[in-house]
Amino acid sequence: MLTTPKDGRLAGRVVLVTGAGQGVGRGVALALAREGAHVAAAGRTLAKCEAVVAEIEQIEGTAFAFACDVADPSQIRAVVAATAAHFGGLDALVNNAQSSVQRLLADTTPEDVDLAWRSGPVATLNAMQAALPLLRERGSGVIVNFGSSAAIDGNVTFGSYAMAKEAIRGLSRVAAREWGRYGIRVNVVVPNALSPAAEQYRDAEPERFQKMERSLPLGRVGDPENDIGRAVAALVGDDLGYLTGNTLMLTGGA
């Protein structure tokens, strides 16, 4: 049974979530809020983030929406500063936002790579650097970054995306070693969840989608809030306080 913000294990902690307007980001934001965290919901489309904030307020949680294109370093710095100003600090950063184009390697363009790179590992690094002074102040900061099973498995047409996601995992391991002395933990989540793209695939190719689900040991695609968001909340909380530099595979056993 889900807890409420009043008795949540993250009560009073401030967490910034990028790409919070839909899919996994929305699920993470809701799960964090249910555990009592004050959530800064950031995304390119402010209206989507505001809708998530409205959902959080309906469950008596606390959240605020910010417009932010993570591919723009100045916007990342601004949203980190605005989060700290609004809530009085920052305890955790969840780097979920990522843009990419699917294309066969032979057809992949420099623009494809640049998009995935700027919105992925470069944006993640920029957000981590901006958040570092605030997390050091807390003495127990948390960073959760996102990888991808498409990168680990080498899925066809995911070349530029795979490059970006595996770079994020390498960056996270280095940060865990360098920043552990400040009490900052850095981990990566690899999700298999019903994102908007997965929903489109399910609706367009129902038989293939069902076949894919049956191939998973747990027999289903993960729920963005209950399966992915609650795991992120555990990483942000104290129960996994000795875990850093690791990749958590939330893929239903795939």
Q: What residues are labeled active site?
A: 161
- Could you tell me the end-to-end alpha-carbon distance of the chain, in angstroms, rounded to an integer? 26
Positive or negative torsion for Cα 183, 121, 95, 132: positive
